[in-house]
Structures are given as structure tokens and as C-alpha cells.
Amino acid sequence: MNEAVELMDALKTGIKSSQFTDVVIAPPAPYLADLARQKGEVLKIAAQNCSATDSGAYTGEFTADMLQSCSVDHVIIGHSERREGFGETDSVIAQKLKRALSCNLRVLLCCGEPLEQRESNTHFEWVERQLNSAFAQVSPSDMANIVIAYEPIWAIGTGKTATSNQAQEMHAFIRRLVSSKFGAEIAENTPILYGGSCKPDNALEIFGQPDVNGGLIGGASLDSASFLAIVEASEISRGING
């Protein structure tokens, strides 16, 4: 817990205000309630997961209601590590999304393709399938509480790197998909984050792409200096593009 509190304190000190960027941190579940009480005015708190069920005999699960009661603002749903490591299907992701939205949580909805799909040039179809399933029970008004995060799984911890052009290409595709379902205005106002090994040395270039609205940061978020540098890159790019 001390390590989590130290990181929170460093971020609160380093981020006095944020004109363009919402700064959301997503600690492991045991730290959520305590850190939510300490988040201050600038930071927001996200859970890394929530249950697809409502209350009931589901030992070990925690519901969207529980998160909301602990002053958690956001929840990450459909992260690649949950899909791949814990077998969460598109159907389960859709159920989790529905539960979270019903509790007025803002959802960071993840999508993204493995290396096999990228190399076989079926990555657009893969992401489209994921999002079509998630959006099946989503209304236009629900989109105000959805942020999409694109994770090219093949570029995370593999030594392979996605270029800013590859990020932009997929983000533009996702925005067109949202537009086809919910209209151009909603698509324009839906943030789409990039989550593929974003670091201080590439953040400004990636965030400078027209359809990239920020990042879903993994390992670099564990070091306060690195994370603050990425937040600064977001502020600069949003100021230029805004």
C-alpha cells in the first residue's frame, strides 16, 4: 500500500492542473477504496475490471455497484490481458459493459488484435467484431460514458513497435465504425486512446495523430516521472490539436 500511496502523492504533486487531459489511474482492486479517498481534484480512479453479474453468490467477484459506492469513477473493460489470460469472451465483455453503464461508471472499453491477425491482415475485422459485440446493447446516450482504448497486442512486450501511422489508421477506422452506428457527432466526441507501449519518447508523436486522443498507459505508469512526461505530451498535443 505504501508504494501505491507514494505513486499517488507523486502524481498529485506533479499534476497541479490539467487543462486538456483527464488523468485516470487504475490501481489493483485492493487499493481502490483507499486511493479513491485520496485522489484530490485532478486525478480520477479506475478499476481494472468488474463483474459481469449483479449481486449474488459470486465469491471473489466485485460488482459495478461496489465500485460506484467506493467513489471509483471509471472501469477498464475488455483489456487484452483479461481476454487472453482469463478467457473473457465478447459476450462477457458486453455484459460487463452493460453493468458498468447502469451504475454510471465511465468505461474504458479495450479492443485490439494479436500478432496473427495483424500479420494475416485481418486486424480490422478482428477489432470490428469486438466492438460490434460490445455495442449491441449500447444506446447513443450511453456513448457519453464510453472511452475506447485500442491495444495492438502484438506491440506490447514483444519487441515489435507500432508506428504512429499504424495507430492513426486503426483509430480512424474505429471512429468511422462509431460514426456508422451512432452518428458523426457522437463519433467525433468519443475519445479513442492508444495502448501499445506508449512511452515518454514516443508519446508526443502518437498523440499528435488526429484520431488519437490520449493513451492507456501500462508499464510507464509505474514510474511517476515517466507518467508525468506522458501527461505533459498529451497536454501539448491536445493544445496544438484543440
Q: What DSSP assignment string belongs to 134-158?
A: HGGG--GGGGGGEEEEE--GGGSSS
Rounded Cα gap, residues 48 and 227, in angstroms = 18
Residue 29 has a CB neighbour count (10 Å cut-off) of: 16
Q: Is 50 helix (H, G, I), strand (E, B) or coil?
A: coil
DSSP H or E stretch at residue 43: strand 43-47
Percent helix, strand, coil in the chain (nearest 5)? 55, 10, 35
Phi and psi at residue 111, to the nearest 5°: -150, 160
What residues form DSSP beta bridges with 111? 150
Catalytic residue list = 79, 151
| Residue 61: CB atoms within 10 Å | 14
